[in-house]
Amino acid sequence: MTIKPNRRQVLQGAAAVAGTAVFAPAIHANPAPIKLGTLASLEGPLAINGQDAYRVVELLLEEANYTAGGRKIEWIRESSNAKPDVALARTRKLVEQDGSDIVLGPLSGAEGIAVRDYSRTVPTKTFINGSSASQDNTLRNSSENYFRFSTDGTQWTAGLGEYAKNTLKIDEVTVVASDYAFPYSQVFGFSLEYTRAGGKLNYLWTPFGTSDYTSLIAQIPKSSGALYVVYGGSDGLAFLTQYAQAGGSLPLLGGTLLADQTLFAARGPHRKVLEGTVSAGPIGDYYENDVWKDFLARYTKRWSKDIGQQTPGTLAFAYSVNLQATLLALKAVDGDLSNDQAAFREALKKLEFKNYIDAHVKLDHNRQAISDNFLNKVEVRDGRLQTVVFKKIPSVNQTLGFPEDKYIALGAPSRNNPGNVQI
Amino acid sequence: MTLEMFATVALNGLTVAALYFIVAIGFSLIFGLMRTVNMAHGTLFLVGAYAGVAVFYPLYDQGFSYAWIVALAAGIAGAAVFGVLLQVTLLGWMQGQELRQTLVTIGISIIAADQLLAIFGGNSQQFFPPDALFGSVSVPLVQTGHYSTFRLFQIAVAAAVGVGLWLILHKTKLGIIVRAGVDDRAMLSACGVNVALVSVLVFAIGAALAGLAGVVGGTAQPFGQEKDVQFLLTSLVVVIVGGMGSLPGTALGALLVGMAEQFGQSLFPTYSVMFTLLLMVIVLAIRPQGLLGKRLT
């Protein structure tokens, strides 16, 4: 039997030979690209944050010209819907089917725990957090190849509890919050600080995705001096709208995702109660700092034709810090991912850098960031509502300065363990 | 619980029930006649709301006081057109194949949700009612002595929908045909009635009601991603509790679900979701056809 190659096979063969001849020297100088898989939520309730995160990732990769440490970066983007099972499935796809070397993500709290658990089963790859901010990604049962250069939901509250008690002189705060992992982290941090300062707390929890808060609002104790509102996205909009319509007038302290561009962009009566809200988080929209202003200018320049003057939100910022660290470490090892990425991981652990809001970042022994936090107030600047930074809390660690053994002994944050205890 | 608190929560329950009734009655109506479990009903709610938003903001920004009325009309029309397209192009020719229709409508809802996200973005949106309905009116007994005018208006809309549908079903020829179709489709067809056309009409009415609920609901509380699933689930619970295809049953179901939700939220905020589902479990255990439902043959 003779093999008669058809026309197509001949052409393919010719192309292959030509390709080898032309590109062989280039391949020698520039080894195969690094596959960077990213995961963010482009579906579901946090889709808006996922889009924002990918705008930041795209901006930074473009600025790096899709290279790091002398190697090309091949970017593979995946999406989840803020649910852990989906995040896990998509992460597996990134690693097992796409062959990603490094995974950057995911976006939300419970997803992060799922990805961290998965990371243990593939010790030859490196996982770098996106914006997932639940404390236990790194504090308890941390994984050797899971890194987080962004601060967590509890660190994001640093400074707020003490400010409420000592500066605003509020003696009793009622916490209204969604009943899931991320608000637990935030309420825990706020409660620890506020209780230490001598304040009294009440708690009202509602299921995630509640749209009618009128009966909850009726339950707010009359003795409250302020509300600590830990809702984000549509839950936050619904709560604040109904609180405004009910004639609510207590001062508001905001969870990190309450005082957010998402709510500032929406129109309605909630804006009236939102103005003046004090909140804490890893960024503020308006901050007199050149590094930050430069970053915002680059972001706006790249994306203003799509989204106007909107600036990146907290979650997108977390992606920026983690990607910045990834690129810095790749540069430090000249793109060397051999030996199961050992050198790359060592470089990650040793990194110390200033992020795009000019906050100092380094890792602790759990591969968790120690970085600065900011106190903000919602004000009108440049004709629109923005969070305006008025205080910086330097070098916040994961246990908010409390001794780690005592902090861990308190147990994981939950609605039954909201942190209103004295250490 | 004080009397004042009780009155406030009861009124909250009643106003939420009114919204649930408007959403669920369309779902119930479609199921009643066609035995189609329309899993895209929540999508019809969102389509109505977004169709409303598309015309609302341009008008509202120019200060037109009737923007809300136009949005209401657009929402009803948008959802009705979408519903008719769904029935004519897909569901009509798979009549009687319940599993297939269920899967197709689930598929439609997923596709539509992504399209709406792509077109309108992921930010939550809401409507602002006309001045006459904005603000609050004096209501005795409730906390602060005032209650949101628009939420009271919701009760009026639900009552109007309920009475209107009752009149159509019991006093018009269309109503006679629909009720006959609920009991025996084949016999109705044998009597010379174009059942396919009636199905399209009923689907249009059911979808229009979902669109109405979209704009009314989108005024009382913000809407956005995931609200389709939420309102589909609520509709399912309401008609399962009240009885599939029954008008008074849907009203009763909506009332029970609304009250369970609001009193649950007030007394045990953490477990409020459970109350609604618990209600469904109890009804399914003791009266599987729903409180006022007929036993299906």
Residue-level pLDDT at A8: 55
For chain A, give the percent of residues with pLDDT over 90: 72
8-state DSSP, A164? I
* Angstroms from B8 CA to nearest CA on chain A: 7
Residue A4 confidence class, pLDDT cut points 50, 70, 90: low
Contact B222/A268, CB-based, under 8 Å? Answer: yes
Residue A23 confidence class, pLDDT cut points 50, 70, 90: very low
Which distant-in-sequence residues (6+ apart) come within 8 Å of A326 by Cβ? A36, A68, A102, A104, A128, A348
| Distance separating alpha carbons of residues B292 and A52, to the nearest angstrom | 49
Residue-level pLDDT at A423: 82
Q: Which one has a higher pLDDT value, B272 or A111?
A: A111
Residue B114 confidence class, pLDDT cut points 50, 70, 90: confident
The type of residue at B21 is F
Is the predicted pLDDT of residue A47 greater than 60, yes or no? yes
Tell me: the pLDDT tens digits for B80-97?
999 999 999 999 888 888
CA dihedral B239, B245, B247, B252 (to 10 degrees): -20
> Which domain range does residue B107 map to?
3-236
Residue A204 confidence class, pLDDT cut points 50, 70, 90: very high
Is the predicted pLDDT of residue A200 greater than 60, yes or no? yes
Please answer whether residues B221 and A211 qualify as being in contact, where contact means their C-beta atoms are separated by less than 8 angstroms: yes
| Distance separating alpha carbons of residues B63 and B153, to the nearest angstrom | 23
Residue-level pLDDT at A11: 52
B144 touches chain A (CB under 8 A): yes
Residue-level pLDDT at B56: 94
Residue-level pLDDT at B291: 92
B149 touches chain A (CB under 8 A): no
Task: Report, as an integer, the average pLDDT of B39-65.
Answer: 93
Distances (CA, A) of A192 to A163, A186, A187, A325: 13, 10, 8, 30
Residue ranges and CATH numbers for the domains of chain A are: 34-152+289-371 (3.40.50.2300), 155-287+373-409 (3.40.50.2300)
Residue B63 confidence class, pLDDT cut points 50, 70, 90: confident
Task: Report, as an integer, the average pLDDT of A226-242.
Answer: 89
Is the predicted pLDDT of residue B234 greater than 50, yes or no? yes
Residue B263 in domain: no
Residue-level pLDDT at B71: 96
What is the value of ipTM here, to two decimals?
Answer: 0.76
Residue B35 in domain: yes
How high is the mean pLDDT of chain A? 90
Question: Residue A106, preceding bond cis, omega within 30 degrees?
Answer: yes
B97 touches chain A (CB under 8 A): no
Q: How would you classify the pairing of strands A34-41 and A102-104?
A: parallel
Residue B258 in domain: no
Tell me: the pLDDT tens digits for A147-172?
999 999 999 999 999 999 999 999 99
* Angstroms from A142 CA to nearest CA on chain B: 30
CA A319 to the chain's CA centroid: 6
For chain A, give the percent of residues with pLDDT over 70: 93
Give all strands (DSSP E) within A58-97, no chain letters: 67-68, 71-80
Residue ranges of chain A whose CB lies within 8 Å of a chain B CB: 43-45, 47-48, 51, 179, 204-207, 209-216, 218-219, 233-234, 237-238, 241-242, 245-247, 262, 265-268, 415
Number of separate domains in chain B: 1
Q: Which one has a higher pLDDT value, A259 or A345?
A: A345
Q: Which one has a higher pLDDT value, A332 or B182?
A: A332
Is the predicted pLDDT of residue A122 greater than 90, yes or no? yes
Residues of A in contact with B2 (CB under 8 A): none
Residue B273 in domain: no
Is the predicted pLDDT of residue B269 greater than 80, yes or no? no
Residue B274 in domain: no
* Angstroms from B93 CA to nearest CA on chain A: 31
Residue B243 in domain: no
**What does residue B125 show for φ and ψ, rounded to 5 degrees?**
-130, 160
Is the predicted pLDDT of residue A24 greater than 50, yes or no? no
3-state DSSP assignment of residue A34: strand
Binning chain B into helix, strand and coil, the percentages to the nearest 5 are 80, 5, 20
Tell me: the pLDDT tens digits for A373-400?
999 999 998 888 999 999 999 999 999 9
Which helix (H) or strand (E) segment is A247 a member of? none
| Distance separating alpha carbons of residues B179 and B166, to the nearest angstrom | 11
B297 touches chain A (CB under 8 A): no
Q: Which one has a higher pLDDT value, A44 or A77?
A: A77
Residue B295 in domain: no
Is the predicted pLDDT of residue A322 greater than 70, yes or no? yes
Residues of B in contact with A47 (CB under 8 A): 117, 122, 225
Packing angle between helix B247-267 and helix B3-34, nearest 10 degrees? 140
Contact B223/A44, CB-based, under 8 Å? Answer: no
* Angstroms from B292 CA to nearest CA on chain A: 27
Which distant-in-sequence residues (6+ apart) come within 8 Å of B39 by Cβ? B102, B105, B106, B109, B232
| Distance separating alpha carbons of residues A226 and B153, to the nearest angstrom | 31
Which helix (H) or strand (E) segment is A370 a member of? strand A369-381
Task: Report, as an integer, the average pLDDT of A85-89.
Answer: 95
**Can you give the pTM of this predicted structure?**
0.82
Is the predicted pLDDT of residue A262 greater than 80, yes or no? no
| Distance separating alpha carbons of residues B223 and A211, to the nearest angstrom | 8
Residue-level pLDDT at A26: 43
Cα Rg, chain B, nearest whole Å:
19
Task: Report, as an integer, the average pLDDT of B139-158.
Answer: 88
Q: List A279's β-bridge partners, or say none.
A: A254, A376
Residue-level pLDDT at A266: 77
Residue B38 in domain: yes
3-state DSSP assignment of residue B170: helix
- Most B CBs within 10 Å: which of A55, A179, A211, A216, as the mutation test of the B interface? A211
Which distant-in-sequence residues (6+ apart) come within 8 Å of A362 by Cβ? A351, A352, A369, A370, A371
Task: Report, as an integer, the average pLDDT of B56-75.
Answer: 91
Residue B147 confidence class, pLDDT cut points 50, 70, 90: confident
Cα Rg, chain A, nearest whole Å:
23
Find, in chain B, the residue whose alpha carbon is nearest to that of A47. B122
Question: Which range (A310-314, B142-146, B212-216) has the least confidence?
Answer: B142-146
* Angstroms from B269 CA to nearest CA on chain A: 6
Residue-level pLDDT at A397: 96
Is the predicted pLDDT of residue A209 greater than 80, yes or no? no
